Structures are given as structure tokens and as C-alpha cells.
Amino acid sequence: MFQLSIISDLLRIPPHLFHLPTEEAIKSELNIKYANKVIHKLGLVISIWDLLEIDDGLLKPGDGATYVNVRFRVVIFKPFVGEVLTGWIEKCTEDGIKVNMEFFNDIFIPKVYLFENSKYSSEDNAWIWEMDEETKLYLDVNEKISFRIEGEVFTDVKPKGPDNTTNELIAGGANTNGVNGNGVNGNSDITNGTNDKSKEQTPPFALIASCQTDGMGCCSWWE
């Protein structure tokens, strides 16, 4: 589930950290830069493990900070395919189950990777595994669940630019009081630009899991 990876970087140390020991200042800046961040094709960085090499600091004209080449190890969350993990069911939909591990919640179990004869119940907001005519086992929200990693998905998420919706509307003659450039009440809605923000964003790192074999599913089933 966790592994160590070696990374090299040119790190900027701001002047307000000069009073700290060198290693402490470097670790502080590295954690700010890398901790809880996803590195493409590598995984989720949990924290800085240790420092391997530290070069002499370099200065740039007009910049009071110092720049240091650093080689270090980080703790990465990246389960291998076939690894069995446990988490909690965060959400159930017709498409499958979303699992939360507290520090990572972009784990999805598609319906095709659930037990055979599993059905989604919108009334119970849960998936039901019908083992036979008499036995029905529920996969409810907030239940602890065991699952198997089947694959990983990395998405190159590009940074978003500023929202210019309001500026465009004002430039076009609309204002926040609902009065257009001709002094006539208009129906322009400057809140339309918020619709995109409400949509669920694609995560940079996600895991695809299954729940089909003995020992999988709610942990309470096997106790």
C-alpha cells in the first residue's frame, strides 16, 4: 500500500526560514510542496521520509531566497494490483460503490466487479447481494468493507484559469442590479458561471477495485 520513492528537486528556501537548521527548513518546504499532492504516474505523497543529498545553496540576483538541489525520499500511497484493502462505503449509486479510506476517497467499485446477483436498491440506498432465495446481504453506506485493487487511473488535470463570467457580462451591458446598458431591467443571470463549479471534478489519481471473492464485502459478514 505504501512505498518509498526517490525524488530530486531544486527547492527555494525563503529568508524567513534562515534561522532554522538547514534540514528542518528544507523538510518544511518539501512538505508544503509535496505532502497530500498527487505526482502523475507515481501516486499520492503522504509525507517526506528523509533527505539523501543536499547541495550548497545558490543565490539569484534580486531574490533574497536561497536555492538548494535536494535529493530525498517520500512516502507514496500506491497500492499494487491484487492487494486487498479495507475502507468505508462512502456512497452507493446505480453504477457502483465509492469507498473512503479517510486519507484517500477516490476508490470506486463498478457494478460489474461486485458479487454475482448483486442489485442496487434506491429505496435502501445500498447494494444487496442475494446469495440465495433466503439470504440477502446489504452493502450499506458507512459499513466497513474489504476490496481488491484491480487498476489505477491517472488523469493529467490542468490548472484552471480565473472565472471571467462576471466581467464578460458587465462588458456586454449587464450588471448585478439586473439593469442593462440601456437602463431597462434585464434578465441576465450572472450566477450561471457557477454551474460548472458544482460539477464533480475528475480526480488526478483514482483506484478501481472489486468485491467478488470470499472475504470481500462488509467485514461484519465474515466475523
Q: What is the pLDDT of residue 175?
A: 46
CB 148 within 8 A of CB 79: no
Tally of CB atoms within 10 A around 185 = 8
Angstrom CA distances, 112 to 78, 117, 132, 149, 213, stand at 23, 10, 19, 14, 13
pLDDT of residue 182: 42
What pLDDT is recorded for position 201?
79
Report whether CATH 3.30.1490.120 matches the domain 2-77. Answer: yes
d(CA 47, CA 24): 14
User: What pLDDT, on a 0 to 100 scale, did the predictor assign at position 163?
Assistant: 59
One fold for 2-77 and 84-156+200-222: no
pLDDT along the chain (223 residues), means of 10: 94 93 94 94 94 91 92 96 95 95 94 92 91 86 95 84 52 46 40 46 92 90 83
Residue 147, pLDDT score: 96
pTM for this structure? 0.76
Instruction: Provide the pLDDT for residue 186.
Output: 42
- Say what the pLDDT of residue 164 is: 52
- What class has domain 84-156+200-222? mainly beta
Query: How many Cβ atoms sit within 10 Å of the Cβ of residue 167?
Result: 10
pLDDT of residue 134: 82
Domain residue extents for the chain: 2-77, 84-156+200-222
